[in-house]
């Protein structure tokens, strides 16, 4: 598993130029393409369907496609997105009448299954269910709308998910979705402990310079002077660990920043991460 993956959401794209903009971010260094699929039933908004996924495949996109289903029911769309070329398919357990059957359906169709947990939900899936998935997505905001503040209790849930992953001996990707930026990315990284494969989703609109991705792991914004200061929460040994970034993770883009703007800073951001990891 690679050290990190970057998967911008197509909701940030100009849909009149979707193929062109997806090509641009992939050329800039993105690893995956993320779909936020909303049905105006499970969540209030209405977004995209499998035809868009198929259109990108027909356009020539070969990168993995990560589909987050915020729909109810899920099985019909699972099959349609799998046939349209999805790689990862994640869904909310309460949106399926038979969670294990939905997981097996995803795997039988050749995709990698995952479960999504809303902020008010506990990690209630039994171990034998977790053993059958490849990704756990933890919502750190309520699904359906962007621009929300990070819900701090997600950190406790992240720790619980990490401990479950460790006990089961799995290498499950852990996603934290919503409200994660330079001011709290260090807390998320510390809680993750950085020994396992995990995914991190953060809001790019709050990152003004490429190197702030790296700095945010070690430094905190100073409210008085408007610059980064060293976080006393972390020891020298811990910050050295952050510097190296040995963790597998997925960095997923926020859906509010245009993909065209994303492509302009993505390449130096990746370079910054690689330099940081190589120290």
Instruction: Give residue 264's pLDDT.
Output: 57
Domain-by-domain residue ranges, the chain?
Answer: 4-278
Taking CA 252 as the corner, what is the angle to CA 249 and CA 258, rounded to the nearest 5 degrees? 155
Instruction: Show the tokens assigned to 1.
Output: 């598993």
Q: Which of 36, 66, 165, 254 is catalytic?
A: 36
- Any catalytic annotation for residue 36? yes
**Residue 262 banded pLDDT, cuts 50, 70, 90:** low
Cβ-based neighbours of 243, under 8 Å, separated by 6 or more: 214, 217, 218, 276, 279
- Span 119-147, pLDDT tens digits: 988 887 666 787 889 988 888 888 876 66
Adjacent-strand bridge partners of 176: 138
Measured distance CA(222)–CA(48) in Å, rounded: 40
State CA 178 to chain mean position distance: 9
- Span 4-52, pLDDT tens digits: 556 677 877 888 989 988 888 888 777 788 898 999 999 999 999 999 9
Cβ-based neighbours of 235, under 8 Å, separated by 6 or more: none
Q: Which of 39, 134, 165, 177 is catalytic?
A: 177
Instruction: Give residue 198's pLDDT.
Output: 34
- Residue carrying structure tokens 């999504």: 116
- pLDDT at residue 221 is higher than 50: no
Q: Say what angle helices 259-278 and 236-244 make with each other, to 10 degrees.
A: 120
- Tell me the CATH architecture of domain 4-278: Alpha-Beta Barrel (3.20)
């Amino acid at each position: 598993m690679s050290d990190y993956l970057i998967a911008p959401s197509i909701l940030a794209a100009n849909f009149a130029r979707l193929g062109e903009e997806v090509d641009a971010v992939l050329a800039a260094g993105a690893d995956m393409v993320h779909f936020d699929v909303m049905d105006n039933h499970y969540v209030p908004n209405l977004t995209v369907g499998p035809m868009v996924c198929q259109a990108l495949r027909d356009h020539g996109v070969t990168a993995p496609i990560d589909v987050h289903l915020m729909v109810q029911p899920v099985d019909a769309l699972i099959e349609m997105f799998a046939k349209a070329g999805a790689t990862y398919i994640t869904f909310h357990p309460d949106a399926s009448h038979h969670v294990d059957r939905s997981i097996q359906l995803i795997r039988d169709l050749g995709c990698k299954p995952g479960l999504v947990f809303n902020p008010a939900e506990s990690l209630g899936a039994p171990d034998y269910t977790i053993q059958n998935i490849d990704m756990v997505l933890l919502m750190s905001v309520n699904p359906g709308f962007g621009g929300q503040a990070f819900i701090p209790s997600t950190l406790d849930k992240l720790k619980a998910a990490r401990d479950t992953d460790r006990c089961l001996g799995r290498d499950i990707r852990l996603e934290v979705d919503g409200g994660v930026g330079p001011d709290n990315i260090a807390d998320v990284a510390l809680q993750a402990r950085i020994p396992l494969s995990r995914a991190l989703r953060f809001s790019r609109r709050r990152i003004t310079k490429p190197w702030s991705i790296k700095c945010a792991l070690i430094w905190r914004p100073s409210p008085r002077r408007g610059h980064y200061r060293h976080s006393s929460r972390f020891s020298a040994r811990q910050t050295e660990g952050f510097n190296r970034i040995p963790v597998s993770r997925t960095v997923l883009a926020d859906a509010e920043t245009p993909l065209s703007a994303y492509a302009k800073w993505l390449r130096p951001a990746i370079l910054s991460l690689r330099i940081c990891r190589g120290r």
